[in-house]
Amino acid sequence: METRLRIAPSLLSADFARLGEEVRAVIAAGADLIHFDVMDNHYVPNLTVGPIVCEAIRPHASVPIDVHLMVKPVDALIPMFAKAGASIISFHPEASEHVDRTLQLIRSHGVKAGLVLNPATPLHCLDHVLEQLDLVLLMSVNPGFGGQSFIEHVLPKIEAVRRRIDATGRDIWLEVDGGVKPDNARRIGAAGADTLVAGSAVFGAGHYADAIRRIREEAQAGRAQRAAALEKVSA
């Protein structure tokens, strides 16, 4: 099942001195989501922001806030981010003692639930939980820092997860985060992603609307290529 394409600028690359203004600017420029990276200097080697900052930007966000928790342990923060206004909360299976319980906890707060797989995390982590997910986030860099280069061998992994999602018949988003730029967005879209996180490619650009438009156009072209190839196979 193909869903519409979404572009999610990552606040990790925004100007933290004026986050509210940055959120409003990228939404006006065409952002579909705001990606909110939470790092704890424990699960990943960096320290970023917490629920208080999420709550502070919520009034500025007219689109969903997509919270990516790179923290361990993870469960204690979930109610805080749900209260702070998160629309989606995703976490890494390595950060939870009981993945099923953590997913239930997210859903109990009325928030959509996602699971995040690092470049080397095996896909069997999805075997018994895919039906509970609203989103699968594939990292195309190792988590912890913005501005890294896209890891090419993640592309076949995107294709494999796309097949798994399609087999469920459910509208589960397939998100890709890490080194996403206009020059690889077409391949990412062709592999089956429908939600692209972009940090420095948006906030590091001179014009946010142009940056988002270019990524969207390239990803849409890739998705069109994929659809044509699937139609040819089924004909």
Q: What is the DSSP string of 125-189?
A: GGTTTGGG-SEEEEESS-TT-SSPPP-GGGHHHHHHHHHHHHHHTS--EEEEESS--HHHHHHHH
pTM of the model: 0.95
Concerning whether 177 is annotated as a catalytic residue, the answer is yes
Q: Give me the CATH number covering residue 84.
A: 3.20.20.70
Query: For the chain, how many structural domains are there in total?
Result: 1
The answer to whether residue 20 sits within a structural domain is yes
Residue 2 has which token pair?
């193909």
Q: Which of 32, 40, 134, 177 is catalytic?
A: 177
The answer to whether residue 170 sits within a structural domain is yes
- Residue-range definition of the domain harbouring residue 48: 6-234
Q: Are 190 and 160 in contact (CB under 8 A)?
A: no
The answer to whether residue 1 sits within a structural domain is no
Concerning whether 40 is annotated as a catalytic residue, the answer is no
Per-residue pLDDT of the chain (235 residues; tens, 9 = 90+): 456 899 999 999 999 999 999 999 999 999 999 999 999 999 999 999 999 999 999 999 999 999 999 999 999 999 999 999 999 999 999 999 999 999 999 999 999 999 999 999 999 999 999 999 999 999 999 988 777 899 999 999 999 999 999 999 999 999 999 999 999 999 999 999 999 999 999 999 989 999 999 999 999 999 999 999 988 887 6
Q: Which of 32, 37, 66, 194 is catalytic?
A: 37
